[in-house]
Amino acid sequence: MPSIEQTFTLQVPSSTVNLAMIREFVARVGGMAGFGENDVAKLELAVDEACANVIEHAYDSDTTKQVSVRATFDDEQIQIEIIDRGRGFDPSSIPQQDLDQLIAQRRSGGLGLRLIRTIMDDVQYQIVPGEKNELRMVKKIRKP
């Protein structure tokens, strides 16, 4: 049977209070896509991290701005895009440091990106300065 692609979109004001709603949205769509409980939890975390970055860094917690989460899945995989119009930066330009180095420097930056890269199978950024930033993440659905 051919795989039917389905897309769901959530748009919320840029505030960390909305991270809970974003996680619920991802959990619902992840469950529909066929992910098990552990993978749904990981998806929630990856999207939470990406959206928290947008809210706090791209938008400096300006609640008049909007964060969009678009999830598309078929039988094989789920693709989640996080779209914002804030100050874009290329997270891949940030060097990955060891945890003990971060602790020694009393820094916790970069942990979210490390989680995203660990959880998702593919992570790509598309930055059009002053227009649109798009983080595209893919996770394959593991068949039981």
Instruction: Work out whether 32 is an interface residue with other proteins (CB under 8 A).
Output: no
Start-to-end C-alpha separation, the chain: 18
Q: Residue 140 Cβ, how far from other proteins at the closest point, in Å?
A: 18
Rounded Cα–Cα distance for residues 54 and 84 (Å): 7
Contacts of 10 (CB under 8 A, 6+ apart): 21, 22, 25, 68, 69
Rounded Cα–Cα distance for residues 125 and 114 (Å): 15
Out of 26, 30, 48, 123, the only residue in the binding site for other proteins (CB under 8 A) is: 48
Rounded Cα–Cα distance for residues 113 and 119 (Å): 10
Instruction: Work out whether 121 is an interface residue with other proteins (CB under 8 A).
Output: no
Rounded Cα–Cα distance for residues 144 and 142 (Å): 6
Out of 29, 67, 119, 137, the only residue in the binding site for other proteins (CB under 8 A) is: 119
Out of 3, 17, 90, 124, the only residue in the binding site for other proteins (CB under 8 A) is: 17
Q: Residue 67 Cβ, how far from other proteins at the closest point, in Å?
A: 12
Q: Which residues bind other proteins (CB under 8 A)?
A: 16-17, 19-21, 23-24, 38, 41-42, 44-45, 48-49, 52, 55-56, 99-100, 102-104, 106-109, 111-112, 114-115, 118-119
